[in-house]
Structure 1
Amino acid sequence: MLKVIAACGSGMGSSQIIKMKIEKIFKKLGISVQIHHSSVSEAKNLASNYDVVFCSEALKGNFANAAANGTIVIGLKNLLSEQEIEQKIIENVVNKK
C-alpha cells in the first residue's frame, strides 16, 4: 500500500480537494493507497515518511529534501483536474514501479 500525503498552504480546503481527487484516481487505477492531507509546513516534516507527495506546482520546492530521499513529489498546475492527476500518477508512480 502506498502512503500518500496531499499538501496545501493551510492544510484545509485545497489539500482535502486534492485528497479526494487522488483517492478517486488511485481507485480507478486499482492502486491501494493510504492518504493524509495537511499544511505544507506539517507535510515538509512528514514527507520522507511517505511514498508520494501531492501539492501545487508552486509549493513543490518545499519538498526538495524528501525528493532527495526518494519520495515522489508531484506538483499540480490545476488542483481540480482529474486528467492531470491521472497523467502524473501514471508517469510518476505506475511507470516507476
Structure 2
Amino acid sequence: MSRPDLRPLDVEPVNIRPPFDVRRTLIYDLEAARLDFLSAVHEPLTGIVLGTYDERMLAWLAGWDTPTVGTFVSLLHRARAARPLPRGDR
C-alpha cells in the first residue's frame, strides 16, 4: 500500500482525504457528506481512545466545509506521521 501524499498545504484543499489537491466525486446527500467528513476526521485517529467530548468536537468539525475539514485532517495525518518529540521538549 502506498503512503498518502502528506505535503504541507500551500493552497485551500479541495478534498477531505489525501491527496488534498484532487477533487473527488461530490456527494449531494448532505447527511451522507457529513458522515463522510466524520469518517475522514476519524481515519488519522485510528487506534486512539476518544472520549465523549472528543467525539462531540469531531462531529462538530465534520459539519464544516471541505477546506476546513481537509486542512484539519491533513494536519492530523502529518502529526501522526511525524517523529515523536524527545521527552524533554514536551
Calculate the TM-score normalised by the size of structure 1. Answer: 0.29
Q: Which has the higher contact order (CA 8 A, sep 6+)?
A: 2
